[in-house]
Structure 1
């Protein structure tokens, strides 16, 4: 979750497609989060659902790191993902995610994890299989996403071949994290989304 004041508190976020199309998401109060723009979010999912290298979204287990409002995870669930784990440290943001879970009746397909995405530890063995799709939307230019990728790999959170959509700032330097191979990169305004494959 980014802490830069980048959107108006009265802005509305809606699900773009699928089971919950048009439904509003609960946003954390104030200016504490920077959600991925609607245009970027729709473009990301268009790529995930149609690119030849992508397994799609339907029936996958998803992890949404730096979840904020949970917009990426909820969009995946709307499009048929089997389960989403939302990882978020901010109390207000977790509360907003839980409100949307309640509004969409998604209790059996979601869990909210109060954990720092850069310090995930080992994936609990009783929490089901490893994740096949991951979203990372950290604060820009702090290296937090790169740290989180390394923790996902070290903690066995991702299944081999899992796809990662990682949002960074357009002006940030190139990066590489062991175990992740680049698939595609797209720019949306100030955001650059890197698509990666986990290849341990």
Structure 2
């Protein structure tokens, strides 16, 4: 598993042992960032000005890929202790310590005022954690009004965010189903 493009391009990331963490495959990450780069509701300038929140971060591949492509800062949430240690090593490997902040549990986030505008949700499949985490992040002021939310679920997994978010794009890649969501009031 490598960083695909940008400043950290080609960096091979560490992965935790065992089956608890399921990193987003390079192919799915490439597709995700190609969509972001070329979509009228995102684009290169959006990625380069993004404040990223990588919920259920695992190896940190999504947040680190965004940082590699110019995002300003990334907040990573990872609850598993061993996986968090691997994530810390990946942040150091990419020399992204000064623009990365690591937290433990996205289901119980601290109160914030950073207002992230690019949010990645890639939790364990079939656990219905995304709506719960999103509600807590909104309640604790992590998500900007104009945030773009990217979810990765299993292809056979249904997901519905609260009514304030509308699905604007989706793509199936192997076993993964990527969905892109925007605040309904912010869709142009």
TM exceeding 0.5: yes
Q: Partner of 2:16 in structure 1? A: 28
- Answer whether contact 1:169 1:190 (CA < 8 A) is retained: yes
- Matches of 1:104 and 1:150, distance apart in 2: 31
Q: Partner of 2:107 in structure 1? A: 118
- Answer whether contact 1:84 1:110 (CA < 8 A) is retained: yes
Give the superposition deviation at 1:121: 4.8
Give the superposition deviation at 1:98: 1.0
The C-alpha deviation readout for 1:4-48, integer Å capped at 9, x for no partner, is: xxxxxxxxx100011111111111123321011111110000111
Unaligned runs of 5+ in 1: 1-12
Task: Say which SS state the counterpart of residue 95 (structure 1) adopts.
Answer: helix
Matched, 1:88 2:73: no
RMSD: 1.5
Unaligned runs of 5+ in 2: none
Aligned residues: 183
- Matches of 1:69 and 1:80, distance apart in 2: 19
Matched, 1:187 2:172: yes
- Matches of 1:182 and 1:99, distance apart in 2: 34
Shift in alpha-carbon separation, 1:19–1:178, aligned structure 2, 3 A: same
- Matches of 2:26 and 2:57, distance apart in 1: 15
Shift in alpha-carbon separation, 1:30–1:174, aligned structure 2, 3 A: closer
The C-alpha deviation readout for 1:76-102, integer Å capped at 9, x for no partner, is: 010000100110001111111111222
Shift in alpha-carbon separation, 1:105–1:173, aligned structure 2, 3 A: closer
Task: Say which SS state the counterpart of residue 48 (structure 2) adopts.
Answer: coil
- Matches of 2:184 and 2:118, distance apart in 1: 13
Correspondence list, 1:89-104, <5 A? 89-104=79-94
- Answer whether contact 1:161 1:199 (CA < 8 A) is retained: no
Q: Partner of 2:64 in structure 1? A: 74
TM-score, normalised via structure 2 length:
0.91
- Answer whether contact 1:64 1:136 (CA < 8 A) is retained: yes
Q: Partner of 1:150 in structure 2? A: 135
Runs of 4+ off more than 6 Å: none
Q: Partner of 1:9 in structure 2? A: none
Matched, 1:131 2:116: yes
- Answer whether contact 1:153 1:179 (CA < 8 A) is retained: no
Task: Say which SS state the counterpart of residue 24 (structure 1) adopts.
Answer: coil
- Matches of 1:148 and 1:48, distance apart in 2: 22
Task: Say which SS state the counterpart of residue 20 (structure 2) adopts.
Answer: coil
- Matches of 2:69 and 2:181, distance apart in 1: 20
